[in-house]
Amino acid sequence: MAANLALMTLVLLVVTAVYLRELDAGLLFAAAMTLLEMALLTAFATLFAVLTRPMLGSVFTLAVFVIGHVSEDIWLLTRHVHGGLVRPLVAAVYAVLPNLERFNFKTEVVHDLGISSGQVALTVIYGLAYTALVLVLACARFRSKDLV
């Protein structure tokens, strides 16, 4: 996936350099953040591969992708829900699943908006720590499997 992303980024850089006659380094930054998001999703795919069957693991990974990109919107919708089981359930999902929109700096890069270094540092730490945690869980589950 990293090689595919690198190839797509290279093509994008060449196309923008030809049309704009300048090289935009922000595109490399956006690609790096996308790579970090893909690493986190790959960690979840690995975890689901050792927990479930392949098809179910694929569905769960897709669910993490979708929920991870809309988690903030879902959280905002819970403010309009009063009582019941919905709010605690959404809070639990919001706490457990990653917020993948944190890795999305495409708008800032395309529109030349400022990106704080603190926000970038927190996003990188968040991504690496979350990926490491999910991979540790996958390794622990894999070690407990009987392969004989």
What is the crossing angle of helices 117-143 and 26-51, to 10°?
Answer: 20
Which three-class secondary structure state does DSSP give residue 1? Answer: coil
pLDDT digits (tens, 9 = 90+) for 51-104: 999 899 999 999 999 999 998 888 887 777 777 787 888 888 888 889 999 999
**For position 145, what pLDDT does the model report?**
73
Cα gap 51→2, rounded to integer Å: 25
**For position 54, what pLDDT does the model report?**
87
pLDDT digits (tens, 9 = 90+) for 125-139: 999 999 999 999 999
CA-based end-to-end distance of the chain: 31
Cα gap 138→51, rounded to integer Å: 8
pLDDT band at 146 (very low <50, low <70, confident <90, very high): low
| Locus of tokens 């991870």 | 68
pTM of the model: 0.83
